[in-house]
A and B are shown apart, each in its own frame.
Chain A
């Protein structure tokens, strides 16, 4: 039995998961980029330093590759390991094809709605007139990247009018601002670990961008039906691990803003004490994933 961590050894999620696996008595193997010497889909993954992982014995794999591959061997290894991640019956957090859903936020919103969550009204456009009409309709709107490229969510203000003509260059995403309390909900297999985030920032991840706003986090237990909707959403997306961004408005309505398919959960764990890494390690070792 072995656990494979596809990512940089020093990356915080990979590092914490490796230590959690070790605590549970399993030596997880971490490798990334040029370290992948060769991959035989029915046999062994060989790492440049000589370590071997017998792929049929792998119970779970965490996928967070970020290393550049330039050599022919590493490129072939990357492609083969990607294919293995799609085809294996081991637990994969997450299969690359499923994780790709958040490469397009509006595409993912369609799946979020299909799973029964409310989602903010969203416009992607190259027309300044469309933006003005949408702004007038909702009074307060935010803009953010369309793709999975990380961006700081910001409200559109009068100072932005001067650059709204720039949207003709590239489709730009605007979204109804949802006034409510942020929640981050991590789903790990069937386990749901949530926290409430009280922040005066528009984007709680970047309080400095909101003029030194404050952010605090506390672990919470969601209502059973909300928890189940989160599990259903993750299942619908073909995922086994996800960080779901929710907002609870003053009318008690739960809104889903986005699903992070490669969540950097260490930050939330550090602030709340939620045992997310432990749940991830146990899932990788026990191989008890939901059927995707």
Chain B
């Protein structure tokens, strides 16, 4: 089974699961509230003993075929079922658990979390600008105007209809950053691709991204 990790407040993860179900895949969404179900387990150094507790039941680690992480962090706002006074602490505990759990699983995870983001990466706009600069591309980390997003999956811009120069620039930057899944933001109307930064959560809910992600998992 494929798992999509995301916030219940974000429509992208549920749109992705609907796309994948239409494609005939077994998929379940995991939201922070699911971490308040009995059945989650991480035994450090023993990934085969990891389990996930879903609405559908408890899933053993080896039965997870792959995970898309579209959740940067668990926030207190994700946990309305927790007493308000405890929400901030529980959110930190759940984030910490997911960081370790996602890092230990043997199955493919796009993208593996880092210590600063459960969706992988977590660089600031200034750090993205430094990467663009190293690739000879323009960047405006303080840009405040309109932007256009380009989601890169597995080395290619997922949306084939986006401008070719922009798609190539996005693929170059994602590769330089070592990201398999990222939504990069470029300044709208710039004469040449001008990187503004990256979304904290990748845009995974449109058909093209869903197809590209399935293709990525099938190639693992």
- Bitwise interface map of B from 104 to 127 toward A, beta carbon under 8 Å scored 1, else 0: 100000000011100000111111
B44 CB within 8 Å of chain A = yes
B48 CB within 8 Å of chain A = no
- Bitwise interface map of B from 126 to 159 toward A, beta carbon under 8 Å scored 1, else 0: 1100100000000000000000000000000000
Q: Which of these, A106, A119, A170, contacts B42 with CB under 8 Å?
A: A106
B28 CB within 8 Å of chain A = no
A240 CB within 8 Å of chain B = no
CB distance from B170 to the nearest CB of A (A): 21
CB distance from A144 to the nearest CB of B (A): 11
CB distance from A173 to the nearest CB of B (A): 8
Cα A3 to Cα B202 in complex, Å, equals 38
A41 touching B115 by the CB < 8 A rule?
no
Most chain A CB neighbours (cut-off 10 Å) among B35, B42, B127: B42
**Beta-carbon contacts under 8 Å, A67-112 to B:** 79-80, 82-84, 86-87, 96-98, 100-101, 103-107, 109-110
A125 CB within 8 Å of chain B = yes
> Which of A8-16, A145-153, A214-222, A268-276 lies at the interface with chain B?
A145-153
B41 touching A170 by the CB < 8 A rule?
no
Q: Which of these, B37, B39, B93, contacts A145 with CB under 8 Å?
A: B93
* CB closest chain-B residue, reference A84: B126
A46 CB within 8 Å of chain B = no
Complex interface: chain B residues within 8 A of A106 (CB): 42, 44, 96-97, 100
Cα A96 to Cα B103 in complex, Å, equals 19
Cα A10 to Cα B90 in complex, Å, equals 30
Cα A103 to Cα B93 in complex, Å, equals 9
B178 CB within 8 Å of chain A = no
B126 touching A79 by the CB < 8 A rule?
yes
CB distance from B30 to the nearest CB of A (A): 13
Q: Which of these, B42, B82, B115, contacts A100 with CB under 8 Å?
A: B115
Complex interface: chain A residues within 8 A of B99 (CB): 103-104, 107
Complex interface: chain B residues within 8 A of A130 (CB): 41
Cα A101 to Cα B100 in complex, Å, equals 10
* CB closest chain-B residue, reference A128: B38
B11 CB within 8 Å of chain A = no
Complex interface: chain A residues within 8 A of B38 (CB): 126-128, 168
Interface residues of A toward B: which range? Answer: 35 or more
B194 CB within 8 Å of chain A = no
Cα A149 to Cα B88 in complex, Å, equals 11
Cα A145 to Cα B196 in complex, Å, equals 37
A147 touching B42 by the CB < 8 A rule?
no
Complex interface: chain A residues within 8 A of B41 (CB): 123-127, 130
A249 CB within 8 Å of chain B = no
* CB closest chain-B residue, reference A127: B38
B45 CB within 8 Å of chain A = yes
A51 CB within 8 Å of chain B = no
Cα A169 to Cα B99 in complex, Å, equals 18
Q: Which of these, B44, B53, B123, B127, contacts A119 with CB under 8 Å?
A: B44
A107 touching B103 by the CB < 8 A rule?
yes
A121 CB within 8 Å of chain B = yes
B192 CB within 8 Å of chain A = no
Cα A127 to Cα B37 in complex, Å, equals 8
**Beta-carbon contacts under 8 Å, B22-39 to A:** 35-39
Cα A172 to Cα B116 in complex, Å, equals 21
* CB closest chain-B residue, reference A101: B115
CB distance from A205 to the nearest CB of B (A): 19
Q: A104-B97, A170-B94 are in contact. Are A79 and B124 (CB under 8 A)?
A: yes
Cα A125 to Cα B58 in complex, Å, equals 13
Cα A105 to Cα B99 in complex, Å, equals 10
* CB closest chain-A residue, reference B95: A147
Cα A65 to Cα B106 in complex, Å, equals 36
CB distance from A132 to the nearest CB of B (A): 13
Complex interface: chain A residues within 8 A of B37 (CB): 126, 168
Cα A86 to Cα B114 in complex, Å, equals 15
Complex interface: chain A residues within 8 A of B40 (CB): 124-127, 171
Task: State the A residues within 8 Å of B (CB).
Answer: 41, 79-80, 82-84, 86-87, 96-98, 100-101, 103-107, 109-110, 113, 119, 121-128, 130, 145-149, 168-172
- In the complex, 26 of the A-B residue pairs with CB atoms within 8 angstroms, ordered by the A residue number, are A41-B126, A83-B127, A86-B123, A97-B115, A98-B115, A100-B116, A103-B99, A104-B95, A104-B96, A104-B99, A105-B96, A123-B44, A124-B42, A124-B44, A124-B100, A125-B42, A126-B40, A127-B38, A127-B41, A130-B41, A146-B93, A149-B89, A168-B38, A169-B36, A170-B94, A171-B42
Known: A100-B115, A106-B44, A126-B41. 11 other contacts (CB 8 A): A97-B114, A98-B115, A103-B95, A104-B97, A119-B45, A125-B42, A127-B38, A149-B93, A168-B37, A168-B38, A171-B93
